[in-house]
Amino acid sequence: MTREEPPPGSAPPDVVALAEQRSVARAGRDFAAADHLRAVIGERGWVVADNPDGFSLAPRPPFDVHPTITALLAAGPPIPTAPLTMGLVVDGWPDDVDRCIEALLTHGPDGMVVVGLDCGNASGAGEALHRQALAHPGRVVDLHLSGMLDSVGWSSAVVALLTLAPSGLVGVMDLSTVLDGDALTPIVAALDDESVSASGWRGVDVDRADEWRSFVDAGPGEVDAILGYLMVVRRTAGLASPPHPKARFYRNADMEWSLALREAGGRLVIPEAPLPIHQERHHGYHDSAPEYRDKESKRTYDRLLARFRGKDAILRPRDPGSRA
């Protein structure tokens, strides 16, 4: 009787056994043993990632992978100092990674640095990010976590980018957003006003007539909230009033963060002129598991209402008597 070989690309039995031992150690809160087993697994050429079903194993890629945000921050990866750092949370779709970064490098201002935070190398997106960093040294920086975004959390990823970026201004941008021209210069110019904490592509206002149960599209000028498709934040303001730590999914978390920035006294502004930007398929919404997406979106909006509802004074100025 011959021994059955594992499927191509699957971890060998000894590595799987180590990962199972690590799961037992984690369950018993023996984190020192779990960290040691992670290192041994890495020496065998594999990366272990925790997920809701237990763990997954993947061949070790040709770049450093950090097990947690804490480990990433402790490593202190070098990022070039720049007036503007554009941060990308990379959670899949390698074609989007290439398209988004290439458009940023083509149309972004001189001196801008792009920093991508890869979560789990989903569908090879982390490898695409790494190739971009190799092709554009000093302009693109790749950071990698072993966990997928649903375990890392959108808020934690954004705060990590804010923390690591040695820039006065930090952009947060979805991979579906593509620059068709110089859209960042007018956004950055809006932040020349020290009273402005953030600027971006698309703004929304609280619908007060609907008792804060919805937001409506806003035009240029001051707005109640900026959507996370593309926003640039003054780093000091973003760190002082960061996204809520329980915001695991992006939807509604950008509006919750915006209101926190306004509550702290900052203004949010959309440039007057139309910006040369378009959006490709928004995978973060359309291709997320509907049950997870809807549950996390509702949880965030409920938290937003509990904290901000009725605090009309933090919203942009309205005409006297307006309920809009």
Q: What percent of the chain has pLDDT over 90?
A: 78
Q: Are 103 and 46 found together in one domain?
A: no
Mean pLDDT computed over 51-65: 83
Q: Are 185 and 234 found together in one domain?
A: yes
pLDDT surpassing 90 at residue 206: yes
pLDDT tens, position by position, 274-324 = 999 999 999 989 998 999 999 999 999 999 999 999 999 999 998 775 656
Instruction: Using pLDDT thresholds of 50, 70 and 90, give the confidence band for residue 5.
Output: very low
Taking the C-alpha atoms of residue 89 and residue 87, their distance in angstroms, rounded to an integer, is 7
Mean pLDDT computed over 157-182: 97
What is the predicted pLDDT for the residue at 9?
Answer: 56
Q: Strand 221-223 relative to strand 113-119: parallel, antiparallel, unpaired?
A: unpaired
Is 3 inside a domain boundary? no
Is 65 inside a domain boundary? no
Is 7 inside a domain boundary? no
pLDDT surpassing 70 at residue 6: no
Is 321 inside a domain boundary? no
Q: Are 53 and 76 found together in one domain?
A: no
What is the predicted pLDDT for the residue at 39?
Answer: 84
The pTM of this model reads 0.84
Q: For residue 212, count other CB atoms closer than 10 A to its CB.
A: 18
Enclosing domain of residue 179: 70-314
CATH number, domain containing residue 193 = 3.90.550.10
Mean pLDDT computed over 220-238: 98
pLDDT tens, position by position, 119-141 = 999 999 999 999 999 999 999 99
Mean pLDDT computed over 157-169: 97
Question: Considering the chain, what is the average pLDDT of its residues?
Answer: 92
Q: Are 192 and 53 found together in one domain?
A: no
What is the predicted pLDDT for the residue at 133?
Answer: 97
Q: Check residues 288 and 53 and name the one with the higher pLDDT.
A: 288
Q: For residue 196, what are the contacts with CB-CB under 8 A and spacing of at least 6?
A: 190, 234, 266, 267, 268, 269
Taking the C-alpha atoms of residue 125 and residue 109, their distance in angstroms, rounded to an integer, is 25
Q: Are 86 and 54 found together in one domain?
A: no
The secondary element (H helix, E strand) that includes residue 198 is strand 196-200
pLDDT tens, position by position, 8-40 = 458 899 999 999 999 999 889 898 898 889 889
What is the predicted pLDDT for the residue at 216?
Answer: 96
Q: How many domains does the chain have?
A: 2
Last residue of one domain, picked from the residues 60, 80, 95: 60
Lowest pLDDT segment from 185-189, 257-261, 280-284: 280-284
Q: Are 53 and 115 found together in one domain?
A: no
What is the predicted pLDDT for the residue at 323?
Answer: 56
Q: At what angle do helices 253-263 and 290-308 cross, to 10 degrees?
A: 20
Is 322 inside a domain boundary? no
Instruction: Using pLDDT thresholds of 50, 70 and 90, give the confidence band for residue 208.
Output: very high
Q: Are 220 and 272 in contact (CB under 8 A)?
A: yes
Q: Are 104 and 217 found together in one domain?
A: yes
